[in-house]
Structure 1
Amino acid sequence: MKNIGLIAYLDIKESLRAKWFYVYAFVFGGLMGLFFISGITDAVVMGFTGLSRLLLVFMQVTVIILPIFILITTVKSISADRESNVLEYMLSFPISLKAYYWGKILGRFMTVFLPVIIALFIGVAWGLTKGGALPWAMVFLYSGLIFSICTVFLGIAFFISTLVKSHDVALGLSFTVWILLLAFIDVALIGLMMQNRVPDGVIITIAMLNPLEAFRIGAIALFDPELTVIGPVAYYLLDTLGHTFLMVYAILYPIVLGAIFALLGYVSFRKRDLL
């Protein structure tokens, strides 16, 4: 555990020296500042006001920006160390592959999760100073959703990083994964639904296996428990899962999926040529 903590500490220091971390923190911190300046907490849109409105907009931004930021900054974590011979240097010390791998994951998780969650709580604090009511349940559940989406994309990124030796190839694969999850899968499923070649229940089930889709539905359910904004699909989801289980699924499924990818990455890291 000591070596895992040391590797995590070194990875955090490395991230703090990199420009991407400050861009990453500035994006989410700057967005919150922009929301404050624009007076978004005072706006009323579709019945959402105050902190609810702020969290709604923050969710819409997070689902697009957060995954790609995590992928492109993390996917080259191990592959870049391999290319620059840092991995060879690190393994010359009495550090196991297990400590190196999980230490890197722990350190990178801290650097991608903390800026987002801090920006979220800054927004909540600002909303409270404006006299808004604090929706504790919504803030707690949204924090869980952020934790889950960070976990799943971190696991995917490390899995890709252990498969390829070139960080350029790793970046290309990460961008492909993001595009597939964000757009192509939804477009393909909508096409199948319109042609009625596959039962609607099967299509919706496949869509919910997409961690981004699970995040979207969970975030929407926070603000709209009846899921009216997604149309007839809401009846199938609520009748099949129910609101409570839907929220549990939206949080736990990406965490479990991310853990599986992280474990697969560890197995690949141990078996493949490290250098």
Structure 2
Amino acid sequence: MKNLYLIAYLDLKESIRAKWFLVYSLVFGGLIALFFIAGVTESQVMGFSGLSRLLLMYIQITIVILPIFILITTVRSISGDRDSHILEYMLSFPISLKQYYWGKIIGRFITVYLPVVFAMVIAVVYGAFKGAEIPWGIFFLYTGLLFAMSATFLGIAFFISSFVKSSEVALGIAFFIWIFLLAFIDIALISLMMQERFSEGLIITIALLNPMEIFRVAAISLFDPQLTVMGPVAYYILDSVSQTTFVLLAIGYPLVLGIGFAYLGYKIFEKKDLV
């Protein structure tokens, strides 16, 4: 157990020293600062105002930025160590493959998750200082959604890194997955819906299997429980499950998905040639 924490601590220190971590932190912290400068908390759109309005905008941007940041910064975690022969050096110490792999995951998860949550904490502190009403329920639920989404793409990234030897190939696969989940799957499903080849319920269910899509819908439902901005799709979702159940599903499903991919990555890493 001690070696596990040491690997996590080593990866955490290495990530903090890297330039990407500075850029990563500045992006999310800068977004919050930009929203305050633009006076987002003082505006009102569709009934959303104050910190609720700020968090709504933050959610929409995070959906796009967070997955690609996690993928491109994490997908080279093991393959990069293999390329630079650090993996061979680390395993020369009395460290098991299990301790190395899961230690890397713990350290990297702390690195990618804390800056995103810390930016929200800054928003809450500043909002409280300005006397704004703080939507604590939305804040904690959104923190849970971020936790699950970070775990999902971290697991996918380690899964890729476990079997790809070249860092360049790993980056290419990661970028393709991000584009596919972000755009291609929606385009394909909308095309099928317009051609009426499958039922709308089946197409919507397939769309919600996309962790980015279920995160987006759950995040919107926190501000708009009736999902009025989504049109007819809302009727199918709300008729199937309640809003509370859907939010819990949006946290549990991506979390299980991420752990599953991470475990598959470990099994491949355990049996594959390490150098």
Q: Name the aligned partner's letter for residue 62 of structure 2.
A: T
Which residue number corresponds to residue 112 of structure 2?
A: 112
Q: How big is each residue's C-alpha offset from its partner over 1:126-167, in whole Å with a ceiling of 9 and x where there is no partner? A: 111221111111001000011011000000000000110000
Partner Cα distance (2:93, 2:149) in 1: 33
Q: Name the aligned partner's letter for residue 66 of structure 1.
A: L
Which residue number corresponds to residue 127 of structure 2?
A: 127
Q: Does 1:240 align with 2:214?
A: no
Give the fraction of aligned pairs with identical amino acids, expressed as a percent: 65
Q: Name the aligned partner's letter for residue 73 of structure 1.
A: T
Partner Cα distance (1:78, 1:182) in 2: 25
Partner Cα distance (1:241, 1:173) in 2: 34
Q: Which runs of 4+ in 1 moved over 6 A?
A: none
| Structure 1 position 241, deviation (Å) | 1.1
Which residue number corresponds to residue 67 of structure 1?
A: 67
Q: Does 1:272 align with 2:259?
A: no
Please report the TM-score for the alignment, with normalisation by the length of structure 1: 0.99
Q: Does 1:77 align with 2:69?
A: no
Q: Does 1:24 align with 2:24?
A: yes
Q: Name the aligned partner's letter for residue 237 of structure 1.
A: I
Q: Secondary structure at the match of 2:65?
A: helix
Q: How big is each residue's C-alpha offset from its partner over 1:15-74, in whole Å with a ceiling of 9 and x where there is no partner? A: 011100000000001111111111110011111000100100100110000000000000
Q: How big is each residue's C-alpha offset from its partner over 1:74-116, in whole Å with a ceiling of 9 and x where there is no partner? A: 0000000001000000000000000000000000000000000
Q: Does 1:221 align with 2:221?
A: yes
Unaligned 5+ runs, structure 2? none
Q: How big is each residue's C-alpha offset from its partner over 1:184-214, in whole Å with a ceiling of 9 and x where there is no partner? A: 0000000000000001111011001000001
Q: Secondary structure at the match of 1:202?
A: helix
Partner Cα distance (1:24, 1:272) in 2: 32
Partner Cα distance (1:31, 1:138) in 2: 19
**Aligned positions of 1:162-201 closer than 5 A:** 162-201=162-201
Please report the TM-score for the alignment, with normalisation by the length of structure 2: 0.99
Partner Cα distance (1:249, 1:229) in 2: 20
Q: Name the aligned partner's letter for residue 209 of structure 1.
A: L
